[in-house]
């Protein structure tokens, strides 16, 4: 059988650059070399596309949160009908190498300009099949304000929040603070299009909101301010299915974290100081709650027109109410991340999960669908 040629694209310009690199190493290690020919492509923090690393052991988290190395070569994906070759060009234009066409792109980019529909649009223009959600689902899912509007329109439950654009904060701050004061504290101030808990602050009083907004603005000019929900945070992984079969939901999982320093599951807790972190899969919730979160996760997947994979995060409130916190159309995919861990517990191991995602990408039609 002819090997499937995959362009594994990682790094990127967001604050999640280093985690993307770790993810790429995990996937590279899991891809069967008898089935796949992997072309590694790194995106530097300045946005340049360069030949990627090929030794996954150098990309492991144990080696630290590194960056895509510099290179005097540039990788170019031209527009075309899908048969066009990728090009490896010397930065000064003196040498051009034909890398040949690819069968599928596998982006493992997180944050803006990676999971927000931008690179997905590039793949669409190039007519290249790719793993994961399309342009609309990616862009709407990435923006927490727009995401909540789509969920509400679909009749799905979300918690109280206030969305704040940069312009509104500059010109109507008093009204924003008045709306925030109607929420129950603590509240969480978040970059609207951020990930990995970067730039998030837990705020106990209205007087502390401006400083938290300033911190969030370091990552995104648009923010959301969410009412804190007393309860448990539960996650469900959703996987697309072939043809017109319905998407599938994994067993739910829960992150158990002892005394987090920032009062929530922040970047440090997720990726650096993980000793106090354990995963409970399946989550220790009753059968009715388990059935509800799995059903709502698939409904959220369908509401956005997701493809491939999505993780849906919930609050199971102390009152028993179940609310959707957010969806993540390109969830963490390191071997120790919740998305693959939940599928592992549901019966699909990491390498098989990757195979299924590649198959789904190759199956779906190009263009409008």
Q: Where do the domains of the chain lie?
A: 4-130, 139-157+230-363, 161-227
**Confidence (pLDDT) at 88:** 97
Please state, in angstroms and rounded to a whole number, the distance separating the CA atoms of residues 253 and 90.
46
Cα 225 from Cα 223, distance rounded (Å): 7
- For 4-130, CATH number? 3.40.50.20
Whether the predicted pLDDT of 53 surpasses 80: yes
pLDDT at 275 (0 to 100):
56
Residue 292 in this model has a pLDDT that exceeds 90? yes
pTM: 0.90
Phi-psi region of 309 (alpha: psi -120 to 50; beta: other; left: phi over 0): beta
The pLDDT of residue 252 is above 60: yes
The pLDDT of residue 195 is above 50: yes
Which of 199-203, 273-277, 285-289, 291-295 is predicted with the least confidence, judged by mean pLDDT?
273-277
Q: What are the φ/ψ torsions at residue 292 (nearest 5 degrees)? A: -70, -45
Q: How confident is the model at residue 259 (pLDDT cuts 50, 70, 90)?
A: low
- In tens, the pLDDT along 300-312 reads 999 999 999 999 9
CATH architecture for segment(s) 161-227: 2-Layer Sandwich (3.30)
Reported as a single tens digit per residue, the pLDDT across 8-27 is 999 999 888 999 999 999 99
Instruction: Give the mean pLDDT of 226-234.
Output: 93
Looking at domain 139-157+230-363, its CATH class is alpha beta
As a three-state string, the secondary structure of 158-186 is: ECCEEEECHHHHHHCHHHHHHHHHCCCCC
- Mean pLDDT over residues 26-49, rounded? 96
| Average pLDDT, rounded, for the chain | 92
Element (H, E) at 99: strand 96-100
């Amino acid at each position: 059988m002819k090997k499937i040629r995959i362009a594994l694209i990682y790094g990127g310009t967001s604050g999640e650059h280093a985690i993307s690199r770790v993810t790429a190493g995990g996937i590279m290690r899991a891809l069967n070399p008898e089935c796949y020919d992997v072309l590694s492509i790194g995106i530097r923090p300045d946005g340049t596309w360069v030949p990627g690393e090929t030794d996954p052991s150098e990309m492991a988290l144990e080696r630290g949160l590194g960056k895509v190395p510099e290179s005097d070569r540039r990788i170019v994906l031209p527009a075309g009908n899908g048969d066009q070759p990728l090009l490896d060009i010397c930065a000064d234009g003196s040498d051009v190498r034909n890398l040949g066409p690819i069968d599928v792109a596998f982006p493992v980019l997180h944050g803006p300009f990676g999971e927000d529909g931008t690179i997905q649009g590039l793949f669409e223009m190039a007519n290249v099949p790719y793993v994961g959600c399309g342009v609309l689902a990616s862009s709407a899912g990435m923006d927490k304000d727009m995401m909540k509007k789509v969920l509400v329109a679909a009749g799905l439950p979300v918690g109280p929040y206030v969305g704040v654009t940069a312009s509104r904060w500059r010109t109507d701050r008093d009204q924003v603070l008045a709306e925030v004061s109607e929420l129950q504290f603590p509240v969480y101030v978040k970059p609207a299009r951020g990930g990995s808990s970067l730039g998030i602050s837990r705020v106990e009083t209205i007087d502390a909101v401006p400083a938290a907004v300033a911190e969030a603005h370091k990552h995104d000019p648009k923010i959301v301010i969410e009412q804190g929900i007393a309860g448990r945070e539960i996650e469900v992984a959703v996987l697309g299915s072939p043809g017109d079969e319905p998407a599938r939901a994994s067993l739910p999982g829960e992150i158990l974290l002892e005394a987090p320093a920032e009062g929530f599951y922040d970047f440090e807790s997720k990726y650096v100081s993980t000793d106090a972190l354990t995963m409970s899969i399946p989550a220790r919730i009753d059968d009715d709650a388990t059935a509800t979160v799995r059903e709502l996760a698939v409904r959220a997947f369908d509401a956005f027109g997701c493809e491939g994979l999505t993780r849906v995060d919930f609050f199971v409130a102390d009152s028993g109410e179940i609310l959707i916190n957010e969806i993540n159309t390109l969830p963490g995919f390191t071997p120790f991340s919740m998305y693959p861990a939940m599928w592992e517990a549901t019966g699909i191991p990491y390498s098989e999960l990757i195979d299924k995602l590649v198959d789904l990408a190759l199956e779906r039609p190009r263009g409008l669908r």
